[in-house]
Structure 1
Amino acid sequence: MQIRIEAVDLPGRSCPGGPDSPDLLDVHVAVQRRERPGELLDLHPGDAASAVWTLECTAGPLAGGIDLKGPYVQGRPGQRFVYLVWGNVDQDGGFTMFRRAKLMFDGVDGRILAEAVAAGRLVARLGLTDVKGLPLCAAVRPPLVTWSVESATGV
């Protein structure tokens, strides 16, 4: 099955630094691979109109529900999530992470998850700018994300 993340309202290419750090001028967002924090999927600039990621995963039984696993799925059973990582890209193309958002699966209604397994695709739709105008971070659950089902075949 697939997990498709559709993001809009990205915060922009620049982000103010902290008291002891400079402003960030080339902000990007990507999905971080489990156990390989330097391996990023589909880096998008922070000023893009939207960002989309499609992740392959497997679904299996979990006491009282469904467990998702895959190369980009993090956490323990019952506490699974996907990391959306924010970083600054330097002149040499190096990525330095400065914050992450956890797209939490415990916020997915069990019926929606079961339908997604049958249809082949679970879809997350969310905005990536927080209330302060900065890159979204911390645990992300409804109402900040809307979960739905699509056919993986596009039919």
Structure 2
Amino acid sequence: MRIRIDAVDLPGRTHPVPTSRNGPSEPRDLYVAVQRRDRPGELLDPHPGDAPSATWTLECTATATPTGTDVKGPYVQDRLGRRFVYLSWGTVDEEGVFSMFRRAKLMLDMVPADVLAEAAREGVLVARLGLTDPQGGPLCARVVPPHVTWTAERDTYAPVVAKDA
């Protein structure tokens, strides 16, 4: 199975970022990316904060269990049995180093069970969401419906198989 995250309404390229926990904020160059499980420094496909949209596709496995569908993968986080995907917001300095300052959690346990089961059969679980919070900044914290819409789609990716002539 794959998880595809389709994001729109990014907050802009420049956003005030705290220079310390309680210190002043200054505008910085903003990016968003998917964080690899247990490796905050490994980010999938960073997008600038002023991009018209951002899409990420994550490889994962979906296994039927007595309690529902269990999703695992390199970008699926697992804390106390609650699976989620991190969208990490950060700045990029002159050397290209990403410094995370905020994250959003796409909570997989909030996907309706029937949608998750259908996605496991069809091949793709799709999350659609806007990435700007009500104050105009980067969306953060737990992201649950109605701020994200989950659907299942048929996986149209079909690997090319060579045939003997």
The equivalent residue for 1:12 is 12
Higher alpha-carbon Rg: 2
TM-score for both structures, normalised by structure 2: 0.89
Helix, strand or coil at the partner of 1:142: coil
Residues 21-30 or 52-61, more deviating: 21-30
Runs of 4+ aligned residues of structure 1 deviating over 4 Å after TM superposition are none
Q: Distance in 1 between matches of 2:80 and 2:119?
A: 18
> d(CA) in 1 for partners of 2:27 and 2:85?
24
The answer (yes or no) to whether the contact 2:60–2:71 under 8 Å persists in 1 is yes
Partner of residue 123, structure 1? 126
Name the % identity.
63
Report the residue type matching 2:5 in the other structure.
I
Alignment gaps of 5+ in structure 1: none
- In 1, the alpha carbon distance for the partners of 2:121 and 2:153 equals 10
RMSD across aligned C-alpha pairs, in angstroms?
1.6
SS in structure 1 of the partner of residue 120 of structure 2 = helix
| Cα shift readout 1:29-55 (whole Å, capped 9, x = no counterpart) | 000000111000000000000000000
Superposition map of 1:8-47 within 5 A: 8-18=8-18, 20-47=23-50
* In 1, Cα distance between equivalents of 2:155 and 2:32: 24
Cα contact 2:35–2:87 (8 A) shared by 1? yes
**Amino acid in the other structure paired with 1:56:** E
Deviations 1:91-150 (A, max 9, x none): 110111010000001111100001000000000000000000000000000000000011
* Distance in 1 (alpha carbons) for counterparts of 2:62 and 2:103: 24
Shift of 1:25: 2.1
Bigger fraction of residues in strand: 2
Q: CA deviation at 1:154?
A: 5.9
Letter of the structure 2 residue corresponding to residue 16 of structure 1: P
Aligned partner of 1:88 in structure 2 is 91
Question: How many equivalent residue pairs?
Answer: 155
